[in-house]
Structure 1
Amino acid sequence: MTMNKEQKRAYGEMKQQENQERWFANLSTAITDNNLPWRKPWVGGTGSMPHNLVSKKAYRGGNIVQLWIEGMVRGWTDLRFATRKQLLSKGYSIEGLTNGDGVNIQFFKRSKFIVENDDGEEETRSRWLTRWYTVFCVEQCVDYVAPDVEEVEVVPESEMMVHFNDYIASQDTLVLHRKGVRAYYSSEKDDIVMPPHESFISPIGEVMTAFHEAIHSTGHVNRVERPLKSAFGSPEYAYEELIAEMGQLIVTLTLGGEFKPDSVVEDNANSQAYLKSWLAACKDKDKALSQAFSSAQTAADYILKSLMGVDA
């Protein structure tokens, strides 16, 4: 049966809703089970991040989280993904691959349209359109052969701290203070406070803490601006922690460092309880998660571009 334009639109909206519900269900289950990619140790480099088989670019925002979680649940270690068409272009077989076997990811595209304003003149406006694509892990192909594993050279902690200090230096008003036993970011003073170098038990702990606070600092009004004055323990506080955790993971792996979330010394960092409280308070949960991951990506992009002009 051929669908008319209105039926196609309704069908498209229904499928989009199904995709959103599935996307949210996977993420919320991972939060409940504490099975999140930013709660696991990782070794840096592009290979540890879900990326496209053809473009070799890492996925972004909520998509990278979704693919990480799917990989963890299904036991995939080769995190290269592609559409059926892309798999065929690279010589892979798509035999037996159905939409239900793949992972739904979303992309946003700005679409322009013309309307007539109150004065009878044509006016160009724009809106964001959501497009869903089904991608597959290369390990799902029947003819998949695991590539030779190249030994990854992890960027040493000392070099990662050079990156952190370079980020501080790149910001006109941001100041780093080494004092006390707590690590935190003050948006009022635009200060990052960290314990002295010798206070850290391990070098990785210093690196992890430094970049966690660096992500917080991107919320300053002179950077990408996010609400940073939420009450301790509130859902909004948890929302910012989620951004810091996810953003820190993206920055650390992009720079080639090692990621160990348990090494962060900031009070209540990586708190599953706060994430659960935030999620429970969200009215539009899938939209809230999508916005959180988008904000984390924006924060990470800001730091990376400040450091090295990464084309994120």
Structure 2
Amino acid sequence: MAGKFDAQQWVTDRIVAAIEAGTPPWRQPWTGTARGAVFPYRACGEAYRGINVILLWLEAWEKGYASRFWFTYRQAQALGGQVRKGEKSASVIKFGTFEKAGTAEEDDRRAIPFTKLYAVFNADQIDGLPEVYHRHPEAPRDLGTEPDRALEAFFAATGAVIVSSSDPRAYYDFKADRIHMPPIRTFHAMAGYYATLAHEATHWTGHASRLDRLAKFADRDAYAFEELVAELGNVMLCARLGLTPDFGQSAAYVESWLSALRNDKRLIFRAAAEAQKAVDFLLEAGGGVAQRSAA
């Protein structure tokens, strides 16, 4: 007999997998949507709510879907569409209740909550749908955002290998030991670029040849802990470099990982200690605090 479906663990695993693959779609201070990052809607035009928004964002992000619309197999057929052979569905969660007869001492019937998965397909997986259900990815836009010479010199001095391409993702590649960043000119603001770089650079410090932190954190909970370290490192390093951290976004990001770790608030202190070590390493390697000219 299959075990009871654990919706919370399933969602947590999906979010962790997305973070492992690069910056998730709800946290992107630059332009370009080669992968889906639009708010998901049902076939009827009703917006998804709650955790299903995150789940479909993740699916679109991983598979590169551009459309915001999702269909059950029957909904697609009703509109004259056909899911292409070999396409795999995404899973969303249905929350509901069913009534169960009570005992003589209880009320006649009582509502029992339940969760179950059901399958949906993105419009990009379906042939024959009206064009209104399709959307083309947004190309990265050159917003003219310029680099800061002092900050560029600082991160170069750390020794981190930083590469850039048209791939609209920011991530630290552990195996290659390098950081990938979208071009700075595609960012909405200079500060967003360096805050993102600070997050990835904190990950970079955990390599075995440096602080040897990443090898200690091999399981899912440990990866969530590493994300706490990286985000706290981002805030600490930005403050030291004269950038104003996005405390609201960082707080939400940190809170999401504390939740993934079952709200063990003590972890924030451990993560802060590891983040401080990472920032100290970057500051020492980068030759101290960058002296930026006034904007």
**Same fold, judged at TM 0.5 (above):** no
Query: Which is higher, the Rg of structure 1 or of structure 2?
Result: 2
TM-score, normalised on structure 1?
A: 0.41
TM-score (norm 2): 0.43
**Relative contact order, higher structure (CA 8 A, sep 6+):** 1
Structure with more of its chain in helix, by fraction? 1
